[in-house]
Protein backbone atom coordinates (compact mmCIF):
# COMPACT_ATOMS: atom_id res chain seq x y z
CA UNK A 1 0.00 0.00 0.00
CA UNK A 2 1.33 3.46 -0.92
CA UNK A 3 2.23 5.53 2.13
CA UNK A 4 0.35 8.82 2.40
CA UNK A 5 2.33 11.88 3.43
CA UNK A 6 1.21 15.34 4.53
CA UNK A 7 3.68 18.21 4.51
CA UNK A 8 2.81 21.27 6.58
CA UNK A 9 4.80 24.18 5.23
CA UNK A 10 5.36 25.11 1.58
CA UNK A 11 8.68 26.90 1.89
CA UNK A 12 11.82 25.78 0.12
CA UNK A 13 12.59 22.89 2.46
CA UNK A 14 9.04 21.55 2.65
CA UNK A 15 8.78 21.68 -1.14
CA UNK A 16 12.18 20.04 -1.66
CA UNK A 17 11.26 17.16 0.66
CA UNK A 18 7.96 16.80 -1.19
CA UNK A 19 9.92 16.22 -4.40
CA UNK A 20 12.00 13.53 -2.66
CA UNK A 21 8.91 11.70 -1.45
CA UNK A 22 7.12 12.07 -4.78
CA UNK A 23 10.20 10.69 -6.54
CA UNK A 24 9.80 7.67 -4.23
CA UNK A 25 6.26 7.15 -5.62
CA UNK A 26 4.48 8.21 -2.44
CA UNK A 27 1.16 10.07 -2.15
CA UNK A 28 2.14 13.60 -1.03
CA UNK A 29 -0.05 16.60 -0.15
CA UNK A 30 1.43 19.97 0.81
CA UNK A 31 -0.32 22.50 3.03
CA UNK A 32 0.29 26.21 2.52
CA UNK A 33 -1.25 29.08 4.48
CA UNK A 34 -1.55 31.10 1.25
CA UNK A 35 -4.30 30.61 -1.34
CA UNK A 36 -2.25 32.56 -3.90
CA UNK A 37 0.75 30.30 -3.30
CA UNK A 38 -1.38 27.18 -3.87
CA UNK A 39 -2.79 28.66 -7.08
CA UNK A 40 0.74 29.39 -8.34
CA UNK A 41 1.91 25.86 -7.49
CA UNK A 42 -0.95 24.37 -9.47
CA UNK A 43 -0.61 26.79 -12.39
CA UNK A 44 3.17 26.71 -12.85
CA UNK A 45 4.10 23.40 -11.12
CA UNK A 46 6.92 25.36 -9.53
CA UNK A 47 7.72 27.04 -6.21
CA UNK A 48 8.70 30.31 -7.84
CA UNK A 49 9.28 32.06 -4.54
CA UNK A 50 11.83 29.64 -3.08
CA UNK A 51 12.88 27.10 -5.74
CA UNK A 52 12.63 28.93 -9.05
CA UNK A 53 13.32 26.71 -12.02
CA UNK A 54 12.58 23.39 -10.28
CA UNK A 55 9.59 21.64 -11.85
CA UNK A 56 7.36 19.94 -9.29
CA UNK A 57 6.10 16.40 -9.94
CA UNK A 58 2.59 16.18 -11.36
CA UNK A 59 1.66 13.78 -8.56
CA UNK A 60 2.06 16.46 -5.86
CA UNK A 61 -1.14 18.13 -4.64
CA UNK A 62 -1.58 21.36 -2.67
CA UNK A 63 -4.21 22.87 -0.39
CA UNK A 64 -4.86 25.56 2.21
CA UNK A 65 -7.33 23.21 3.93
CA UNK A 66 -5.60 21.53 6.88
CA UNK A 67 -8.29 18.89 7.25
CA UNK A 68 -8.01 17.94 3.59
CA UNK A 69 -4.23 17.67 3.76
CA UNK A 70 -4.08 15.73 7.05
CA UNK A 71 -6.99 13.31 6.66
CA UNK A 72 -5.82 9.69 6.41
CA UNK A 73 -2.11 10.52 6.34
CA UNK A 74 0.44 7.97 7.64
CA UNK A 75 3.26 10.51 7.97
CA UNK A 76 3.13 14.23 8.73
CA UNK A 77 6.22 16.26 7.87
CA UNK A 78 6.39 19.51 9.88
CA UNK A 79 8.28 22.00 7.72
CA UNK A 80 7.17 25.31 9.24
CA UNK A 81 9.81 27.74 10.58
CA UNK A 82 10.52 26.91 14.21
CA UNK A 83 8.89 30.00 15.70
CA UNK A 84 5.62 29.18 13.85
CA UNK A 85 5.61 25.48 14.67
CA UNK A 86 3.40 25.80 17.73
CA UNK A 87 0.76 28.02 16.13
CA UNK A 88 0.40 25.74 13.10
CA UNK A 89 0.14 22.65 15.32
CA UNK A 90 -2.53 24.31 17.43
CA UNK A 91 -4.60 24.84 14.26
CA UNK A 92 -3.90 21.35 12.94
CA UNK A 93 -4.17 19.18 16.06
CA UNK A 94 -7.87 18.34 15.75
CA UNK A 95 -7.14 16.78 12.33
CA UNK A 96 -4.04 14.79 13.36
CA UNK A 97 -4.44 11.06 13.99
CA UNK A 98 -2.40 10.15 17.13
CA UNK A 99 -1.12 7.05 15.32
CA UNK A 100 0.53 9.14 12.59
CA UNK A 101 4.30 9.45 12.50
CA UNK A 102 5.36 13.10 12.90
CA UNK A 103 8.66 14.15 11.30
CA UNK A 104 9.92 17.60 12.27
CA UNK A 105 12.36 19.18 9.81
CA UNK A 106 12.59 22.68 11.33
CA UNK A 107 15.85 23.79 12.95
CA UNK A 108 15.39 26.09 15.90
CA UNK A 109 14.69 26.57 19.60
CA UNK A 110 11.42 28.24 20.54
CA UNK A 111 11.80 31.70 22.08
CA UNK A 112 10.54 32.16 25.66
CA UNK A 113 9.89 28.44 26.33
CA UNK A 114 13.41 27.44 25.13
CA UNK A 115 11.96 24.15 23.89
CA UNK A 116 13.35 22.07 21.05
CA UNK A 117 10.91 21.29 18.24
CA UNK A 118 10.11 17.74 19.38
CA UNK A 119 9.34 19.16 22.83
CA UNK A 120 6.97 21.71 21.30
CA UNK A 121 5.21 18.91 19.40
CA UNK A 122 4.85 16.81 22.56
CA UNK A 123 3.44 19.77 24.45
CA UNK A 124 0.80 20.55 21.80
CA UNK A 125 0.08 16.90 20.92
CA UNK A 126 0.57 14.93 24.16
CA UNK A 127 -1.28 11.90 22.78
CA UNK A 128 1.27 11.46 19.95
CA UNK A 129 4.31 9.31 20.71
CA UNK A 130 5.73 8.79 17.20
CA UNK A 131 7.83 11.94 16.89
CA UNK A 132 11.12 12.29 15.03
CA UNK A 133 13.42 15.00 13.70
CA UNK A 134 15.21 14.87 10.36
CA UNK A 135 18.28 17.09 10.10
CA UNK A 136 21.65 17.51 8.43
CA UNK A 137 23.52 19.44 5.72
CA UNK A 138 20.67 19.75 3.26
CA UNK A 139 20.14 22.98 1.36
CA UNK A 140 16.73 22.84 -0.29
CA UNK A 141 18.15 24.28 -3.53
CA UNK A 142 20.41 21.25 -3.93
CA UNK A 143 17.98 18.56 -2.75
CA UNK A 144 15.33 19.80 -5.18
CA UNK A 145 17.87 19.41 -8.01
CA UNK A 146 18.71 15.84 -6.94
CA UNK A 147 22.24 16.63 -5.79
CA UNK A 148 23.45 13.79 -3.48
CA UNK A 149 22.60 14.65 0.13
CA UNK A 150 22.95 12.80 3.45
CA UNK A 151 20.84 13.48 6.55
CA UNK A 152 20.01 11.82 9.87
CA UNK A 153 16.66 11.08 11.50
CA UNK A 154 16.40 10.82 15.28
CA UNK A 155 13.72 9.81 17.76
CA UNK A 156 13.32 8.55 21.30
CA UNK A 157 10.96 5.99 19.77
CA UNK A 158 13.50 3.92 17.86
CA UNK A 159 10.80 1.64 16.39
CA UNK A 160 9.71 4.34 13.91
CA UNK A 161 13.19 5.15 12.58
CA UNK A 162 13.53 2.35 9.98
CA UNK A 163 10.18 3.28 8.43
CA UNK A 164 11.10 6.98 8.17
CA UNK A 165 14.46 6.01 6.75
CA UNK A 166 12.76 3.81 4.16
CA UNK A 167 10.26 6.38 2.85
CA UNK A 168 12.88 9.11 2.35
CA UNK A 169 15.87 7.19 1.00
CA UNK A 170 16.70 7.02 -2.69
CA UNK A 171 19.65 7.31 -5.08
CA UNK A 172 20.33 10.96 -4.18
CA UNK A 173 18.94 11.26 -0.62
CA UNK A 174 20.52 9.01 2.02
CA UNK A 175 19.21 8.82 5.60
CA UNK A 176 21.00 7.53 8.70
CA UNK A 177 19.32 6.90 12.07
CA UNK A 178 20.21 8.08 15.58
CA UNK A 179 18.38 7.74 18.90
CA UNK A 180 19.89 10.97 20.30
CA UNK A 181 17.15 13.42 19.32
CA UNK A 182 18.45 16.00 21.81
CA UNK A 183 21.83 16.13 20.08
CA UNK A 184 20.43 16.04 16.55
CA UNK A 185 18.01 18.90 17.24
CA UNK A 186 20.54 21.04 19.06
CA UNK A 187 23.22 20.48 16.41
CA UNK A 188 20.84 21.53 13.63
CA UNK A 189 19.67 24.59 15.55
CA UNK A 190 22.84 25.95 17.14
CA UNK A 191 25.00 25.71 14.01
CA UNK A 192 22.96 28.59 12.57
CA UNK A 193 24.40 30.89 15.25
CA UNK A 194 27.93 29.92 14.29
CA UNK A 195 27.00 30.48 10.63
CA UNK A 196 25.97 34.04 11.50
CA UNK A 197 29.40 34.48 13.10
CA UNK A 198 31.09 32.97 10.04
CA UNK A 199 29.29 35.45 7.83
CA UNK A 200 30.35 38.33 10.04
CA UNK A 201 33.96 37.16 9.62
CA UNK A 202 33.47 37.07 5.83
CA UNK A 203 31.99 40.54 5.87
CA UNK A 204 34.92 41.84 7.88
CA UNK A 205 37.33 40.41 5.32
CA UNK A 206 38.92 37.79 7.56
CA UNK A 207 40.51 34.68 6.10
CA UNK A 208 40.71 30.91 6.36
CA UNK A 209 42.55 30.95 9.69
CA UNK A 210 39.64 32.73 11.32
CA UNK A 211 36.99 30.51 9.72
CA UNK A 212 38.79 27.32 10.77
CA UNK A 213 39.09 28.54 14.34
CA UNK A 214 35.46 29.67 14.44
CA UNK A 215 34.09 26.33 13.23
CA UNK A 216 36.24 24.39 15.68
CA UNK A 217 35.43 26.53 18.70
CA UNK A 218 31.80 26.80 17.60
CA UNK A 219 31.51 23.02 17.58
CA UNK A 220 33.04 22.88 21.06
CA UNK A 221 30.48 25.42 22.26
CA UNK A 222 27.57 23.51 20.72
CA UNK A 223 28.86 20.26 22.27
CA UNK A 224 29.18 21.81 25.76
CA UNK A 225 25.58 22.96 25.75
CA UNK A 226 24.36 19.73 24.21
CA UNK A 227 26.04 17.55 26.81
CA UNK A 228 24.63 19.67 29.60
CA UNK A 229 21.14 19.09 28.18
CA UNK A 230 21.58 15.33 27.89
CA UNK A 231 22.92 14.83 24.36
CA UNK A 232 25.74 12.45 23.50
CA UNK A 233 29.09 14.02 22.67
CA UNK A 234 29.62 11.90 19.54
CA UNK A 235 26.40 13.18 17.91
CA UNK A 236 28.08 16.55 17.39
CA UNK A 237 30.85 15.01 15.30
CA UNK A 238 28.20 13.53 13.00
CA UNK A 239 25.85 14.61 10.25
CA UNK A 240 23.69 17.05 12.22
CA UNK A 241 26.69 18.43 14.10
CA UNK A 242 29.96 18.91 12.25
CA UNK A 243 28.40 18.06 8.87
CA UNK A 244 25.68 20.69 9.03
CA UNK A 245 27.99 23.21 10.71
CA UNK A 246 30.58 23.09 7.91
CA UNK A 247 27.96 23.30 5.17
CA UNK A 248 26.06 26.21 6.69
CA UNK A 249 29.16 28.23 7.51
CA UNK A 250 30.71 27.82 4.06
CA UNK A 251 27.81 27.76 1.59
CA UNK A 252 26.58 30.48 -0.74
CA UNK A 253 23.07 29.09 -0.14
CA UNK A 254 23.21 29.75 3.63
CA UNK A 255 20.84 32.53 4.66
CA UNK A 256 22.42 32.72 8.11
CA UNK A 257 25.93 33.13 6.70
CA UNK A 258 24.63 35.77 4.28
CA UNK A 259 22.98 37.81 7.06
CA UNK A 260 26.19 37.68 9.09
CA UNK A 261 28.21 38.80 6.07
CA UNK A 262 25.97 41.82 5.53
CA UNK A 263 26.30 42.75 9.20
CA UNK A 264 30.08 42.42 8.93
CA UNK A 265 29.92 44.88 6.03
CA UNK A 266 28.20 47.42 8.25
CA UNK A 267 24.49 46.94 7.54
CA UNK A 268 21.81 46.75 10.25
CA UNK A 269 19.94 43.56 11.05
CA UNK A 270 16.43 44.96 10.51
CA UNK A 271 17.32 46.32 7.08
CA UNK A 272 18.73 42.94 6.01
CA UNK A 273 15.82 40.87 7.35
CA UNK A 274 13.21 43.20 5.84
CA UNK A 275 14.51 42.57 2.31
CA UNK A 276 14.66 38.76 2.65
CA UNK A 277 11.93 36.36 1.53
CA UNK A 278 13.00 33.33 3.56
CA UNK A 279 13.14 32.98 7.35
CA UNK A 280 16.61 33.23 8.91
CA UNK A 281 16.31 30.73 11.76
CA UNK A 282 19.62 31.63 13.40
CA UNK A 283 18.55 35.12 14.42
CA UNK A 284 15.82 34.04 16.82
CA UNK A 285 17.72 30.91 17.82
CA UNK A 286 20.57 33.17 18.97
CA UNK A 287 18.22 34.73 21.53
CA UNK A 288 16.99 31.30 22.66
CA UNK A 289 20.52 29.88 22.98
CA UNK A 290 21.72 32.97 24.85
CA UNK A 291 18.89 32.54 27.38
CA UNK A 292 19.41 28.77 27.54
CA UNK A 293 23.12 29.12 28.26
CA UNK A 294 22.38 31.41 31.18
CA UNK A 295 19.61 29.12 32.43
CA UNK A 296 21.81 26.00 32.60
CA UNK A 297 25.08 27.85 33.35
CA UNK A 298 27.06 26.84 30.27
CA UNK A 299 29.68 29.14 28.79
CA UNK A 300 28.82 30.13 25.19
CA UNK A 301 31.25 32.91 24.27
CA UNK A 302 30.58 32.97 20.51
CA UNK A 303 26.81 32.90 21.03
CA UNK A 304 27.06 35.75 23.53
CA UNK A 305 29.02 37.92 21.10
CA UNK A 306 26.65 37.15 18.21
CA UNK A 307 23.77 38.09 20.52
CA UNK A 308 25.51 41.36 21.40
CA UNK A 309 26.09 42.20 17.73
CA UNK A 310 22.53 41.33 16.66
CA UNK A 311 20.54 42.74 19.56
CA UNK A 312 22.82 45.15 21.46
CA UNK A 313 24.31 46.89 18.39
CA UNK A 314 27.85 45.91 19.38
CA UNK A 315 30.54 46.63 16.81
CA UNK A 316 31.52 43.30 15.16
CA UNK A 317 35.25 44.11 15.30
CA UNK A 318 34.97 44.80 19.02
CA UNK A 319 33.13 41.50 19.48
CA UNK A 320 35.94 39.60 17.72
CA UNK A 321 38.58 41.36 19.80
CA UNK A 322 36.71 40.53 23.01
CA UNK A 323 36.62 36.86 21.99
CA UNK A 324 40.34 36.83 21.24
CA UNK A 325 41.26 38.53 24.54
CA UNK A 326 39.17 36.31 26.84
CA UNK A 327 40.96 34.67 29.76
CA UNK A 328 43.28 31.82 28.62
CA UNK A 329 41.61 28.38 28.52
CA UNK A 330 42.57 24.75 27.93
CA UNK A 331 41.39 23.56 24.52
CA UNK A 332 39.02 20.96 25.94
CA UNK A 333 36.67 21.85 28.76
CA UNK A 334 33.11 20.55 28.71
CA UNK A 335 30.93 21.33 31.67
Beta-ladder partners of 77: 7, 103
Sheet holding 75-78, edge to edge: 61-63, 27-31, 4-8, 75-78, 101-104, 131-135, 149-154, 173-178
314 is catalytic: no
- Cα angle 147, 152, 153 (rounded to 5 degrees) comes to 125
Count CB atoms within 10 A of the CB of residue 204.
Answer: 17
Cβ 171 vs Cβ 149: under 8 Å: no
Nearest to 96 by CA among 66, 123, 116, 118: 66
Catalytic residue among 107, 130, 191, 284: 191
Asked whether the CA dihedral 250, 256, 257, 258 is positive or negative, the reply is positive
Q: Give the active site residues.
A: 191
Amino acid sequence: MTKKIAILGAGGWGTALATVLAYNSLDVKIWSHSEIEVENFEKFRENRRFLKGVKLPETLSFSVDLEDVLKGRDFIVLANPSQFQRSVLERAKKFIDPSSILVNVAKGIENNTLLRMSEVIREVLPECDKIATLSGPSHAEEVARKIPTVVVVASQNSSILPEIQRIFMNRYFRVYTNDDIVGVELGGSLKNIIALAAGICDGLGFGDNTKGALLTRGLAEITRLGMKLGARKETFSGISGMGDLITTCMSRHSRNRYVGEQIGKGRKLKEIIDEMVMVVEGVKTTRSAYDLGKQVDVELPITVEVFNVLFEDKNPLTAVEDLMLRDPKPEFYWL
